[in-house]
C-alpha cells in the first residue's frame, strides 16, 4: 500500500512539475489578463467621440524569449468604457468618416499561442456593421482613402498603382510602374519618370506623390547624355485622368508633402526651404527656412520651427507662423523670463542654453488647438510651450514630470491635451515577473494621459495604451 501511494505520489509530482514548466515556457501570458469585452456595433452607435488605441500583451513563446503582441481597442473619450476589437500586427489606416479601419493581421505563428487563426493578411473592419473582410495585398506604402470612403489607393513597387473598391471587392491597376516611361501633364509638359513612386497625401480624389522625374525640355538642353532623374512632386486624379507636376523637391524628404485642410494649397520642402503652392501649381513661393510644418485647422496658418540661423540638422530655436492669405511670416516671441521659468524644473538649464543657444535633438511635436489661434510644442526636456497668435507670445506651458519621452497625440475640442509616455510603476506591473524585463526597454508599455487646460491636472486615462486616434 505504501509502495502504491509512493509511486502514485511521484507520478503526480512529475505531472505537476511538467505542467508548470510547459505552461511557463510555451504560452503563458505574463501580463495580467486583460478583460476583453468584445466590440459590438451598439458600442459605436451609442457613444460619441470614440478613440482607437493599441495595447501590448507579452507572451512567453519559448524559453528565455518574450514576444510582444499588439491588440486594437476602442473606448469612449474618457476611457471609462473600452472594448476589444482584434489582435493585429499594426493599424494601417482609418477611413475619412471614421467608420472603417484597416489592420494587418498577425502572422500564423501566433495561432497556437492565442488559440485563434491568423494569416498575416490585410483586413477591413466596418465599425458600423461589424463586418470583417479580407483585403488584397496592399503592399507596404501609404494607403489612401477616397473622400466617399469607397476606394483604396495604394502602390506596390514595380507591380503598379492600384484602386480597390471595398464594396464590390474589385481591384484595378491605374498606373503601370517598374520601368522608365514618358508622361505628359495637363500643362503639356512631358517628363521622363522613374519606375517607382511614393504616396503622401490625398484630398477628395487628388493624390499627392513623389516620383523621380526629369523635364524632357530641360534634358534636351543639357550637355550630358546621362539620364539624371530628380525627385518631383506630382498630383493625380485617377478618376478623371488629371495629372500635374507641381515642383522639384528636396532629395532627402524629411518633410512629408501635405494638402491644406481646405485643399487649396500644398505644403512641401524644397532644399532647406519650406514652400507652398496653389493646387494648380501656378502660384509657388517659399515661406521660410525651417521644418516640422503643420497647417492650422482652418488652413489659414502654418506653424514651423526655424532653422535659418542654425546649421546642425536638429537645431532650432523659434516658433514661426506663416499667414497664408497675407503671405506674412513672423516669429512668435517668448516671454522675457522664459529661461528662468524652465530653470525651475530643469536645474542648470540656463547654463546649458547659454552654451548651445538652441534647442537640440528634439522634435517640436507641434499641435494646434481647434480655434487655430493657439498651439503647443515641445522644446525638449519634457517642457511644453504654448503660443498664442492673438497675444503674439510664447511661454512655458507645462512640465511633464511623469516620465520621459512623452508625445502629444491630439488636443480635444474641449482643449484637453492627450499624450502618451512610457509606463510608470503601478500595482499591476509590480506584481508581474515580466516587469523587470520590460524595464530593460526590450518590451516597453506606454500609458495614455490627459492634461486639463483648465487646471493643468494630469490624469492617466488608460494603463497600457498607446497611439490613440480620435474617431
pLDDT in tens, 12-63: 343 333 333 323 322 333 334 568 899 999 998 888 889 999 998 877 666 5
Given this model, what pLDDT does residue 61 score? 62
pLDDT, tens digit, 9 for 90 and up, residues 61-86: 665 556 788 999 999 999 999 999 99
pLDDT band at 441 (very low <50, low <70, confident <90, very high): very low
Report domain extents, the chain: 136-248
Number of C-beta neighbours around residue 418 at 10 A: 21
- State pLDDT tens for residues 301-322: 999 999 887 767 678 899 999 9
Task: Characterize 246-276 residue by residue with b for buried, 16 or more Cβ atoms within 10 angstroms of its Cβ, and e for exposed.
Answer: bbbbbeeeebebbbbeeeebbbbbbeebbbb
pLDDT digits (tens, 9 = 90+) for 189-247: 999 999 999 999 999 889 999 999 998 888 877 766 677 888 999 999 988 889 999 99
Closest C-alpha among 348, 291, 352, 341 to residue 316: 291
**pLDDT score for 438:** 57
Q: For residues 330 and 394, give the distance between their C-alpha atoms in angstroms, rounded to a whole number.
A: 13
Q: Which residue is listed with cell 500586427?
A: 89
Q: Which of 229, 234, 223, 231 is nearest to 184 (CA)?
A: 234
pLDDT number for residue 32: 41
Q: What does residue 66 show for φ and ψ, rounded to 5 degrees?
A: -100, 145
Least confident of 86-95, 221-230, 386-395: 221-230
Query: What's the confidence (pLDDT) of residue 63?
Result: 55
What is the rounded distance in angstroms from the CA atom of residue 291 to the CA atom of residue 76?
34
Gap between the Cα atoms of 20 and 406, Å rounded:
39
Question: How far lies 118's CA from each of 37, 115, 122, 338, 358, in Å?
Answer: 20, 9, 11, 53, 49
Taking the C-alpha atoms of residue 458 and residue 456, their distance in angstroms, rounded to an integer, is 6
Torsion angle, CA of 219/224/229/235, rounded to 10 degrees?
Answer: -10
- Phi then psi for residue 271, to 5 deg, are 65, -130
Amino acid at each position: 500500500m505504501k509502495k502504491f501511494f509512493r509511486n502514485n505520489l511521484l507520478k503526480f509530482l512529475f505531472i505537476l512539475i511538467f505542467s508548470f514548466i510547459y505552461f511557463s515556457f510555451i504560452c503563458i501570458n505574463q501580463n495580467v489578463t486583460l478583460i476583453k469585452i468584445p466590440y459590438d456595433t451598439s458600442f459605436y452607435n451609442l457613444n460619441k467621440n470614440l478613440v482607437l488605441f493599441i495595447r501590448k500583451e507579452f507572451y512567453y513563446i519559448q524559453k528565455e524569449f518574450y514576444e510582444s503582441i499588439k491588440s486594437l481597442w476602442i473606448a469612449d473619450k474618457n476611457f471609462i468604457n473600452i472594448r476589444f476589437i482584434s489582435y493585429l500586427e499594426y493599424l494601417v489606416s482609418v477611413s475619412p468618416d471614421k467608420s472603417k479601419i484597416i489592420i494587418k493581421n498577425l502572422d500564423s505563428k501566433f495561432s497556437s499561442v492565442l488559440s485563434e487563426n491568423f494569416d498575416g493578411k490585410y483586413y477591413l473592419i466596418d465599425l458600423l456593421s461589424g463586418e470583417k473582410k479580407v483585403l488584397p495585398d496592399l503592399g507596404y506604402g501609404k494607403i489612401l482613402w477616397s473622400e466617399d470612403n469607397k476606394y483604396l489607393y495604394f502602390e506596390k513597387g514595380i507591380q503598379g498603382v492600384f484602386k480597390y473598391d471595398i464594396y464590390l471587392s474589385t481591384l484595378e491597376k491605374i498606373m503601370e510602374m517598374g520601368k522608365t516611361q514618358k508622361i505628359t501633364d495637363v500643362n503639356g509638359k512631358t517628363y521622363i519618370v522613374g519606375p517607382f513612386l511614393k504616396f503622401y497625401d490625398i484630398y477628395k480624389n487628388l493624390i499627392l506623390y513623389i516620383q523621380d522625374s526629369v523635364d524632357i525640355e530641360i534634358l534636351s538642353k543639357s550637355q550630358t547624355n546621362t539620364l539624371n532623374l530628380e525627385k518631383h512632386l506630382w498630383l493625380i486624379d485617377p478618376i478623371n485622368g488629371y495629372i500635374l507636376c507641381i515642383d522639384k523637391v528636396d532629395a532627402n524628404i524629411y518633410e512629408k508633402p501635405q494638402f491644406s485642410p481646405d485643399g487649396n494649397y500644398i505644403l512641401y520642402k524644397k532644399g532647406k526651404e519650406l514652400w507652398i503652392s496653389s493646387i494648380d501649381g501656378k502660384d509657388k513661393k517659399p515661406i521660410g527656412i525651417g521644418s516640422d510644418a503643420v497647417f492650422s485647422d482652418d488652413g489659414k496658418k502654418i506653424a514651423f520651427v526655424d532653422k535659418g540661423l542654425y546649421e546642425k540638422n536638429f537645431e532650432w530655436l523659434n516658433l514661426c507662423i506663416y499667414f497664408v492669405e497675407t503671405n506674412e511670416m513672423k516669429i512668435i516671441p517668448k516671454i522675457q523670463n522664459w529661461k528662468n521659468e524652465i530653470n525651475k524644473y530643469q536645474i542648470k538649464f540656463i547654463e546649458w542654453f547659454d552654451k548651445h543657444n538652441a534647442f537640440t535633438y528634439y522634435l517640436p511635436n507641434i499641435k494646434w488647438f481647434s480655434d487655430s489661434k493657439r498651439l503647443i510644442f515641445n522644446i525638449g526636456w519634457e517642457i511644453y510651450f504654448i503660443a498664442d497668435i492673438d497675444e503674439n507670445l510664447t511661454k512655458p506651458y507645462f512640465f511633464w514630470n511623469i516620465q520621459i519621452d512623452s508625445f502629444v497625440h491630439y488636443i480635444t475640442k474641449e482643449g484637453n491635451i492627450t499624450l502618451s509616455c512610457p509606463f510608470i510603476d503601478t500595482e499591476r506591473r509590480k506584481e508581474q515577473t515580466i516587469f523587470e524585463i520590460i524595464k530593460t526597454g526590450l518590451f516597453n508599455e506606454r500609458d495614455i494621459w490627459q492634461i486639463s487646460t483648465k487646471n493643468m491636472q494630469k490624469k492617466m486615462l488608460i494603463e497600457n495604451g498607446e497611439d490613440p486616434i480620435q474617431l
